[in-house]
A and B are shown apart, each in its own frame.
Chain A
Amino acid sequence: MVRILERVDRQKAVLVGVILAVTLAMSILSAKFFKIDNFVNILLQIAPLIIVASAANLLMITGNFDLSVGSVFAFCAIMHAYLTKNVLPIGWSILSCCIFAILWGASNGIMVGVLNVNPFIATMGSMYAARGFAYLIARWDGGANISAGLPPDFSDFGRTNVFGVFPIIIIFLIIAVAVFIFIEKKTVLGRYSYSIGCNRRASRLSGINVPGVLIIIYMIVGLLAGLCGVIQVSRVGSAYPNIGAGMEFDVLLAIFLGGTSMHGGEGSTLGMILGAFIVGLVANGLNLLNVPYFYQEVTKGALLIIAVFADQMLRRRK
């Protein structure tokens, strides 16, 4: 028992404390909060966030980030709707969208890893471009969005319940988290991510293929963002090009709350998940309390600043 306590670091303990405090406060303030249905709801809401953030967290560990995830999410969502409506069977469309998503990631990776474009500039560029294409695809279809004329079985994929109980997004969530905890702890890719974030020059001088590692991780981030977009649009049953707007910042919020440093070299999937839960619980709770949307945004901002500040104080004391 003592050994377990020793291994859980202080930073994660703080996060768990915050989650418990938020849960307690919301339970007192709203009768609808502490219900199984509500928690399932929260989990469904933050599932895409956690899936994308699990890869984006590894990227942040290398000291880089991706602002285009929300746009790639939207691009693949609307592309999936467009393809199934006009061109391809559902299965092939899902596959094509995943390939498009990987290509977006590869282009980000090449810009950052090979051409040494600052990740902020490179991925902000893709963010605008992918979002623009999302609107354009809706236009090709002849409207502002794609909701009518989709095949009747369009929603089957997103609404699949595995074993009759678990929504498919939850299955993906579990797989993504498990895979990334494994990558982080047990694989060469994970180890190289830490080393690149910790010291990029020393990594290169140790013979690590730094651009290669970055391109692979950007590709995975792109893939997961695109796949989540496909599942989401399939679950909802209609595609809007402004879907997933602001997702990139929710992802970053979860990562920073989870204790991954912006400079890279440290952080964990587990911390990021705790961070995502804080984001989800607070948003849900404020919704139940009928707090207007803009106050929710203010809360998010305050949360981020307080979390990062507290983290800095903790580190300094060490």
Chain B
Amino acid sequence: MDNDNILRIEGIDKLYPGVHALDNISFDIKRNTIHCLIGENGSGKSTFIKILTGVVNKTRGSIILNGRPFDPKSVKDAKNHGIVALYQELNVVDDLTVEENLTLGREKHRLGMIQKDDSLAQILSILSELDKTIELNMTVGELSTAQKQIIEIVKAVSIDCKVLVMDEPTASLSEEETRKIFEVVRKLKANGMTIIYISHKLSELFEIGDFVTVLRDGKIITTKTVQEIRKECQGNTADACLELVKMMLGRVVIESYMPSKTDYSEKILEVKNLSTDLLRNVSFDLFKGEILGFYGLVGAGKSEVARALFGIDLYSGDISIKGKKARYKRVREALKSGIAMIPEERREDGIFGKLSIKNNIPMMKIKSILKNGIISRPKENKVADDYIRMLSIAARDREQKAAFLSGGNQQKVVISKCLNRESDVLLMDEPTRGIDVGAKLEIHDITRNLANQGKGVIVFSSELPEILHLCDRIVFMNNGRVSATIKNGKNIDNDQIMKIIAEGESKI
């Protein structure tokens, strides 16, 4: 029996401070199959891969590789046992040739001078089997993303890799390139390799997957063969997608949605045919006093909408704010026309860690603390104290450096910064990611208050409960397009939402 399973995962637990990333997961991976792992952000996929490839240590449990206990101490150790992971960030050197990339780190040398040898012949045969169009003397920088991936795959195969982990290999590929990668994956399987395939595109797993394991909140929901899933749905891919989406997201409880006090009379923001590299004709309206939600699985294009609206990415299409056409290329211009954004990456894009709370808050509207063109300390202190009180920011005092605050309080500082700008439209990109439950609820209350004060708020979130809890209308996004816009309320039901998400998925 064990001969069938190349990997057997037995009761793995992973605890990070305050987070139970993996909760007693067990499943088998059969030899020479393509085993897909799916789950939303934070479901534990990445943690599992990191444990398998020796990047992090597990807290409990065991891995059996080929019938023997396996506990990788490092990435190198995992590689020596034949387990290699390909990440989205490709690990190739653009300036070197294909040959130099393939032999990187394994050059035979004498006194530091590189010697050619026969192992190259073996690599060459693997390469030509997988992709005949790549030649050894090409510079890797000239290759397409898919071809670069193939270079990495060849590297893995040439060091006798038995289990290849592919983390979203097709995330940034065109359809044609995706085909190419599928072809390579099938060839690898034909040559006896086992592949663990992670993707957010559900349609892909029906195309190449043999097994599917669904993870949610660090737990295994199920492990099935793709055929079983197909059979259960009488071969209907859309229904099968729906089943998977339901498993991935779980049952969403719509508990405490409170409609905003808007009468939908005044359009505050009108977006028509917004397009960028990743967005296709996104159109929607935002009303005064409304909270609009943008929901989609990872990679659906939510953040891209926020970035385009805030002038970070170049876009085509029409944006009008309060009936006035707005056209901007810069963040400054977006701010001027009345849009402010709370960015997704709090540390990188939001706070000024080395500066105090009181220095952080007026940053988007420095005028608010000026008196005769000069920074006025009393004004600055007042602005800071007002927001610290209003949003109940837990800090020693206003002089405390933002870097030393907790995530939730840092986020409140970022929100204060935006509120101080007094914009009409507020974009909140993943406003509560990585924040404890208490602070999360507070931020939801703050958001609702803002809408009730007559601002238009757009919440971009990959947490469906958050969207359903907070938003008056919900725009569902998929693959850079709007797949549906629905009104939130008591009558909304779980199946309807799951269907919308799954339909978008199966269409790709």
Contact = CB atoms under 8 A, between A and B. Distances in A.
A85 B207 CA distance: 83
Interface stretch (B123-131, B198-206, B344-352, B455-463): B344-352
Interface string A188-206: 1001101100110111111
Q: Which size bracket describes the interface of A in this complex?
A: 20 to 34
A123 B274 CA distance: 41
A210 B175 CA distance: 39
B60 to A, nearest CB: 34
Contacts of A265: 352, 354-355
A206 B364 CA distance: 5
Given A191-B366, A266-B354, A206 B417 contact: yes
Nearest to A263: B354
A3 interface: no
Interface in B346-405: 348-355, 359, 363-364, 366, 370, 373-375
B355 A204 contact: no
B312 interface: yes
B220 interface: no
A207 interface: yes
Contacts of A19: none
A187 B374 contact: yes
A207 B335 contact: yes
B332 A209 contact: yes
Given A186-B375, A209-B332, A265-B354, A195 B348 contact: no
B353 A199 contact: yes
Interface residues of B, number: 26
A166 B373 CA distance: 32
A194 B401 CA distance: 13
B331 A191 contact: no
B341 interface: yes
Contacts of A186: 374-375
Contact of A195 (B312, B363, B421): B363
A202 B349 contact: yes
Nearest to B370: A188
A208 interface: yes
B366 A188 contact: yes
A266 to B, nearest CB: 6
A201 B355 contact: no
Contacts of A198: 352-355
Contacts of B341: 205
Contacts of A206: 331, 363-364, 417
B352 A195 contact: yes
B30 to A, nearest CB: 45
B39 interface: no
Contacts of A202: 343, 348-352, 363
A186 B378 CA distance: 12
Contacts of B373: 188
Contacts of B364: 206-207
Contacts of A204: 331
A199 B343 contact: no
Contacts of B375: 185-188, 191
Contacts of B336: 207
B344 to A, nearest CB: 11
Contacts of B332: 207-209
Interface in A33-91: none
Interface in A192-248: 192, 194-195, 198-199, 201-209
A6 to B, nearest CB: 12
**Which of A188, A198, A207, A209 has its CB near the most chain B CB atoms (within 10 A)?**
A207
A206 to B, nearest CB: 5
B374 A205 contact: no
B245 to A, nearest CB: 33
A195 B331 contact: no
Contacts of B363: 191, 195, 202-203, 206, 208
Interface in B144-181: none
A201 B310 CA distance: 14
Nearest to B346: A202
A201 B414 CA distance: 14
A180 B345 CA distance: 33
B355 A194 contact: yes
A79 B352 CA distance: 43
Interface string B272-314: 0000000000000000000000000000000000000010100
B335 A201 contact: no
Contacts of B349: 199, 201-202, 205
A192 B312 CA distance: 20
Interface in A149-206: 185-188, 191-192, 194-195, 198-199, 201-206
B352 A191 contact: no
A208 B331 CA distance: 9
B329 to A, nearest CB: 13
Contacts of A209: 332
B212 to A, nearest CB: 38
Contacts of B355: 194-195, 198, 265
Most buried by A among B352, B353, B359, B421: B352
A205 B359 contact: no
Nearest to B367: A188
A187 B376 CA distance: 9
Interface of A: 185-188, 191-192, 194-195, 198-199, 201-209, 265-266
What 7 A-B pairs come out closest when comparing CB atoms? A207-B335, A265-B354, A198-B352, A206-B363, A207-B332, A198-B354, A206-B364
Given A185-B375, A206-B417, A208-B332, 14 more contacts: A188-B366, A188-B370, A191-B359, A195-B359, A195-B363, A198-B353, A201-B349, A202-B343, A202-B350, A203-B363, A204-B331, A205-B312, A207-B421, A265-B352
10 contacts: A186-B374, A188-B370, A194-B352, A198-B352, A198-B353, A198-B354, A202-B351, A202-B363, A204-B331, A207-B336
